[in-house]
C-alpha cells in the first residue's frame, strides 16, 4: 500500500501547490496568490494558499510516503489521504458544521484540497494559552454523537454499515495506534519517553499485572469492535476552534472501531490540559469533560429515538445499557490515551512546557495514576462527574475512591 | 450481489453434473458414473456423483439464486458459494482433518466440488436415532479452537486478520442470522412457528423485558465483533460423523464474528438432542457439552502459548479473562439458538418428531426456560457443568439456580 517506484506520486512544492489551486479554479484567474507550507505534523505537507488582497484561502494537504520526523526510512501508506478525505465526506453527511469542506481529492498524489480554517486556532495550543472555547464540548459532543451514531448499525442497518466499513480498511494506521497507544506505554519499550524523575513510577506501571491485563482487554476491544466510523485520533490537536465555531480535522486514522475511543481521546486530552493549568483555572476544562459526555448522551438518545434500524432497540433498559457500555469504554480509552501522553512516545505539549520540574513531575505522576484508575476500574465509573472527582483525588495524591 | 438476467449462471442437472465431474478428470475417462440430487436444504442443489463399481464419489454443490422452499420470489446471493468454498479452504489450513477437501470451485456457476463424505452420517440425524459419536465433542472442540484461534488477531496479527476479514463480507447471510436467530424469536413475528400448547409461554417470552434487553445485547455483540472467521451455522446438521471421524460442512454463513457464536450453536443443538432423548440416554450428549468446552479451552490455551502475536498476551490473568468472556458469549448464543429452535422458524427435528404431545410440550417449555436463563444470566455461568445442571433443573420444572 506504500508508494512504489513507478507511481506518479511526487511531493508538491509551494509553487506547484499554487498551480494546483489555479487549475481547480478556486481563485479568480488573475488573482495574486501566495503559498506557505505550514505542516507541523510528521506525516504530511500542508500548504496554505491565499489571495491576501481578497482575504481568501484554501488548504492543500498532501500525505508523505514516510514519517517526516524519522525520514524516508519509515514508509507509510499514502492510502491515508484517501481515508482522510473519504472520512471527511462521510462526517460531513452527519455533522457538516463541524468538519472542513473538501473541494477536491487526488488519490494518486495523496492530495486533499479543503476549506481554509485559518481564522480558527488549534484547541491544544489555545487551551495551553488559557483559552476557554465555551462551546467546545457542546460542539464536540454533538459531532461525536452524530458521526458515531450516524455510521452505526442503528442508523444505517447492518448491511449498509458493513458495506461502508469495507471502505475504511486502514490496517497500517490502526497498527500505529495499537502499538503506540495500547502496547508500548504498558511495557518497557524503547520508544517510550520517560522523564528521569518519573522512571520509578514508570517501572511500577510496567510491573502492574492488573493494569497490563485490563490494558490488554481494552486493546482487544479496540481491535475487534466494528461499531462506528471513528475519527481515530480525536485529541485536541485535531480540533480547530474559536469562541463560536469548532471543526474537527485530520481523520486519517479513520476506521470502524468502538465509539468510546473517540470520546475517550477527547476526554483524556482535555484532562491533560486541565492538569497543566493552575488549580483555579482548571474548572472550565473540567466542565468540558462532563459536558461533552452529557451532550453526547443527549444527542445520541435523540438520534436513537428519531431513526433506529434495530427492531430490538425499544427493549426497556437497552439504550441505558448501550450508553453505559460506551461510557465505560470511553473511560478506559481515556486512561490508555493519558498513559501514552505521559510515558509513551508522543507527550502532551502543555505539560512538557511547564518549567517547574517538581510541578511537572507531580502532574505527570498524578495523570499516570488517574490513567491507571480509568483503565483498571473503568467499570466503577457510572457518571461523568466521577472523572473530575478522580482527577482531584489524584492531584491531591489521594487514593482514588469511587462512591 | 444476486444473479442478474445476463449472468451465465444456470442450475446443474444430474446429467450436467456428471459432465462436470468428467471434465474435471475426477474419475477414469471410461468410468460408469451415476448421479443423484440429494440436497435436503432450501438453498442449494447437492449432486452425489459416484462410480459404483469403483466405490468412488464426489459431491457437487451448487447454490441456488433463491430460497428453494419459498421459491424464486426470495432471491439470495450466489456469493455464498464463494464464501463456503473460501471458508473451507481457510479452515483446511488449521483443521484439515475436520473439513471436506475442496477439489474445484466455479464462482460464476456458484459450484463447489468436494470430497464425498457419504460414509458418514449427519450428526443431527444420528443423534436422533440414538448414535453417540464418542469422539464428536473432542473433534469439534479441536476444530473450533484451531479455526477460531487460527483466524484471530492472536494467531495472524491484526493486519493479516483485517485483510482476511475483507474476503468474508457476507451481509446477506448475516442478516438471515440477525433476523431469524436474534430478532424474530424474541418478538411476536409472523415467521415464528409456535405450537398451539406453547403459545402462552411464547407470549410470556415476548413480554419479557429482561430477555429482550439481553437478547439485544447479544445480537449487537454478534454484529460488531470481528474476532475470528466463524463457520456461522455450526449446528449438528452441519456436521458429518462416524464413530471415528468428524467433518464440518456448509460454512456458507462464514464471516468474522464472535468466537462464542460457533461454540454456542454446537452446545445448543446438542442440548436440544439431549432434551429429545429419554432421561437415561441423555448422559452421553450432556458429556459432549462439557467436553466440547474443555477440549476447546485446552486446545485454545495450547495454541495461545505456542504462537501469539499479541505482545500483551502474557499479562497475568488475561488468557483466563478471554476464555471466560468467550465462554459466556457461548452461553448467551446457545440460549439464542435454543430459543429460535423452539419458537422461531426452524425447529429441532428430533423434538418435533416426539409424538407424545405432553412430553413434546414439556421439552419445548423446558428448553425455552433454559434458553432464557442462558441469555439473561450468562454472566452467572463460569464452568461448563453449570449448563448441564441448569438443564436438569429446567427439565424438573425447577427455577434455575446458580451456586
The overall average pLDDT reported for chain A is 94
**Which of A311, A319, A320, A379 to mutate to test binding with chain B, by most B CBs within 10 Å of its CB?**
A311
Distance between start and end Cα atoms, chain A: 50
Mean pLDDT of B29-55: 90
Tens digits of residue pLDDT in A29-53? 899 999 999 986 677 899 999 999 9
Tens digits of residue pLDDT in A223-243? 999 999 999 999 999 999 999
Contact predicate B230/B175, CB 8 Å? no
Range(s) within chain B of domains with CATH label 3.30.200.20: 14-115
**Assigned superfamily of A121-395:** Aminoglycoside phosphotransferase (APH), C-terminal lobe (3.90.1200.10)
Tens digits of residue pLDDT in A82-108? 999 999 999 999 999 999 999 999 999
Instruction: Determine whether the annotation assigns residue B198 to a binding site.
Output: no
Nearest CA in chain B to A226: B224
Inter-residue long-range contacts of A322-327, CB under 8 Å, 24+ positions, other chains counted: A322/B220, A323/A297, A324/A382, A325/A260, A326/A258, A326/A259, A326/A260, A326/A263, A326/A300, A327/A260, A327/A263, A327/A293, A327/A297, A327/A381, A327/A382, A327/A384
What's the pLDDT score for residue B65? 83
Cα separation values, B360 from B201, B272, B275, B335, Å: 14, 12, 10, 19
Contact predicate B67/B54, CB 8 Å? no
Tens digits of residue pLDDT in B307-366? 999 999 999 999 999 999 999 999 999 999 999 999 999 888 889 999 999 999 999 999
Residue from A222, A136, A195, A137 nearest A348 by CA: A195
Written as nine digits, the cell of B110 is 456458484
What's the pLDDT score for residue A240? 97
B220 touching chain A per CB within 8 A = yes
* Cell numbers 476444530: residue: B143
Contact predicate A95/A146, CB 8 Å? yes
Mean pLDDT of B37-41: 81
Q: Rounded to whole angstroms, how far apart are CA atoms A208 and A188?
A: 12
Instruction: Determine whether the annotation assigns residue B117 to a binding site.
Output: yes
Range(s) within chain B of domains with CATH label 3.90.1200.10: 121-395
What's the pLDDT score for residue A8? 84
Other C-beta atoms within 10 Å of A398: how many?
11
Tens digits of residue pLDDT in A286-322? 999 999 999 999 999 999 999 999 999 999 999 999 9
Range among A369-378, B60-69, B78-87 rated most confident? A369-378
Give the distance from residue A76's alpha carbon to the nearest chain B alpha carbon, in angstroms: 14
Q: Rounded to whole angstroms, how far apart are CA atoms B280 and B228?
A: 37
**Which of B160, B174, B176, B216 to mutate to test binding with chain A, by most A CBs within 10 Å of its CB?**
B216
Tens digits of residue pLDDT in A7-32? 789 999 999 999 999 999 999 989 99
Mean pLDDT of B95-121: 96
Nearest CA in chain B to A178: B158
Element (H, E) at B300: helix B283-306
Beta strands in A184-331 (DSSP E): 228-230, 239-241, 246-248, 255-257
CATH node for A14-115: 3.30.200.20
Share of chain B above pLDDT 70, in %: 96
What torsion do the CA atoms of A343, A348, A349, A351 make, to the nearest 10 degrees? Answer: -80
Nearest CA in chain B to A228: B224
Q: Is B25 left (phi over 0), alpha (psi -120 to 50) or beta?
A: left
What's the pLDDT score for residue B24? 96
Contact predicate A120/A241, CB 8 Å? yes
Q: Across the strands, what pairs with B49?
A: B35, B58
Other C-beta atoms within 10 Å of A204: how many?
12
Give the distance from residue A209's alpha carbon to the nearest chain B alpha carbon, in angstroms: 6
Q: Determine, for residues B311 and A174 on separate chains, whether the beta-carbon distance falls below 8 Å.
A: no
| Percent helix / strand / coil, chain A, rounded to 5 | 55, 15, 35
**Residues 6+ away with beta carbon under 8 Å from A32:** A51, A52, A53
Q: Rounded to whole angstroms, how far apart are CA atoms A99 and A247?
A: 5
Q: Measured between beta carbons, which residues in chain B are less than 8 angstroms from residue A205?
A: none
Q: Determine, for residues B317 and A209 on separate chains, whether the beta-carbon distance falls below 8 Å.
A: yes
Amino acid at each position: 500500500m506504500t508508494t512504489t517506484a513507478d507511481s506518479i506520486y511526487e511531493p508538491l512544492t509551494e509553487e506547484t501547490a499554487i498551480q494546483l489551486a489555479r487549475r481547480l479554479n478556486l481563485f479568480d484567474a488573475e488573482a495574486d496568490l501566495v503559498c506557505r507550507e505550514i505542516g507541523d505534523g510528521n506525516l504530511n505537507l500542508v500548504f496554505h494558499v491565499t489571495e491576501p488582497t481578497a482575504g481568501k484561502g484554501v488548504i492543500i494537504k498532501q500525505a508523505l510516503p514516510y514519517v517526516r520526523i524519522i525520514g524516508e526510512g519509515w514508509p507509510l501508506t499514502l492510502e491515508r489521504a484517501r481515508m482522510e478525505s473519504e472520512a471527511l465526506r462521510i462526517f460531513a453527511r452527519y455533522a457538516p458544521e463541524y468538519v472542513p469542506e473538501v473541494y477536491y481529492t487526488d488519490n494518486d498524489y495523496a492530495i486533499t484540497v479543503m476549506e481554509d480554517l485559518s481564522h480558527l486556532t488549534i484547541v491544544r495550543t489555545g487551551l495551553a494559552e488559557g483559552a476557554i472555547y465555551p462551546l467546545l464540548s457542546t460542539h464536540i459532543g454533538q459531532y461525536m454523537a452524530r458521526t458515531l451514531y450516524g455510521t452505526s448499525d442503528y442508523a444505517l442497518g447492518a448491511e449498509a454499515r458493513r458495506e461502508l466499513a469495507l471502505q475504511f480498511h486502514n490496517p497500517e494506521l490502526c497498527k500505529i495506534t495499537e502499538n503506540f497507544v495500547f502496547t508500548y506505554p504498558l511495557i518497557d519499550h524503547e520508544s517510550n519517553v520517560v522523564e528521569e524523575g518519573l522512571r520509578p513510577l514508570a517501572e511500577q506501571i510496567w510491573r502492574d499485572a492488573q493494569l497490563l491485563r485490563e490494558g490488554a482487554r481494552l486493546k482487544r476491544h479496540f481491535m475487534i469492535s466494528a461499531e462506528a466510523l471513528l475519527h481515530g485520533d480525536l485529541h485536541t490537536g485535531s480540533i480547530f476552534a474559536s469562541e463560536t465555531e469548532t471543526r474537527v480535522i485530520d481523520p486519517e486514522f479513520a476506521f470502524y472501531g468502538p465509539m468510546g475511543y473517540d470520546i475517550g481521546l477527547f476526554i483524556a486530552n482535555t484532562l491533560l490540559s486541565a492538569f497543566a493549568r493552575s488549580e483555579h483555572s482548571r474548572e472550565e476544562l473540567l466542565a468540558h469533560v462532563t459536558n461533552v459526555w452529557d451532550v453526547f448522551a443527549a444527542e445520541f438518545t435523540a438520534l436513537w429515538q428519531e431513526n433506529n434500524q434495530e427492531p430490538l432497540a425499544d427493549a426497556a433498559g437497552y439504550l441505558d445499557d448501550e450508553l453505559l457500555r460506551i461510557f465505560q469504554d470511553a473511560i478506559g480509552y481515556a486512561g490508555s490515551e493519558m498513559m501514552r501522553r505521559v510515558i509513551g512516545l508522543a507527550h502532551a505539549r502543555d505539560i512538557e512546557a511547564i518549567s517547574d520540574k517538581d510541578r511537572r513531575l507531580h502532574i505527570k505522576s498524578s495523570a499516570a495514576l488517574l490513567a491507571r484508575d480509568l483503565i483498571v476500574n473503568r467499570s466503577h465509573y457510572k457518571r461523568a462527574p466521577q472523572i473530575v472527582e478522580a482527577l482531584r483525588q489524584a492531584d491531591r495524591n489521594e487514593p482514588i475512591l469511587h462512591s
